[in-house]
Chain A
């Protein structure tokens, strides 16, 4: 399968713990995005990478959140000292500079539950 993959698919953690999610984009895509989605809402942009460079971070991304894409391939999103408000679906998407629309392809998401 050559789509975007994310691991784990589900994560339950206790408040105050750290969690890390991984995203593997489509192999030829140089652009990678992280979003957060809560029930009944659309995805909210968190951060964007072009190759290994993190080019934009949303103000939603507090200092407890950090993302990396060390070799311009897979990416990780870490949340430190989790809070109950962090419970959400975390979506990763990738795109390339081909075609006219540069549409983003989404992975299946990691559902985080903070208890």
Chain B
């Protein structure tokens, strides 16, 4: 089966750094995405990794280790507006097509 695990909730302080981990067991791995979702809104794309290593994009970085089935999202210089759910999603190739399988999301609360 396909399984994606990430912590349910995390809290952090404004200005700090937080790391959100994601582990996955999937077949047909074809890339890993991180999305941000504010309450009641649509998910928005943050990052994409298909090869091992770190991808940096401003205050956000994402890391992938395919051999370990592991990724993390690193958020630096946290701001209050970063309070949201962070969704780890694995793209799998099945039957000739790609589809996304999402984890349940990590709800991040940033405090002053």
Contact = CB atoms under 8 A, between A and B. Distances in A.
Given A40-B105, A106-B42, 10 more contacts: A35-B102, A42-B87, A42-B104, A43-B87, A43-B100, A43-B102, A44-B102, A56-B94, A101-B31, A103-B45
Contact of B99 (A42, A56, A91, A100): A56
A106 B100 contact: no
Contacts of A103: 33, 45, 48
B68 to A, nearest CB: 21
A45 interface: yes
Interface in B4-57: 4, 8, 31, 33, 35, 41-45, 48, 50
Interface residues of B, number: 25
B95 interface: yes
Contacts of A108: 41-42
A55 B101 contact: no
A109 interface: yes
Interface string A58-79: 0000000000000000000000
Interface residues of A, number: 24
Interface of B: 4, 8, 31, 33, 35, 41-45, 48, 50, 87, 89, 94-95, 97-105
Contacts of A105: 45
Contact of B104 (A40, A106, A107): A40
A45 B48 contact: no
B44 A106 contact: yes
A67 to B, nearest CB: 15
Contacts of B45: 103-105
Contacts of A44: 102
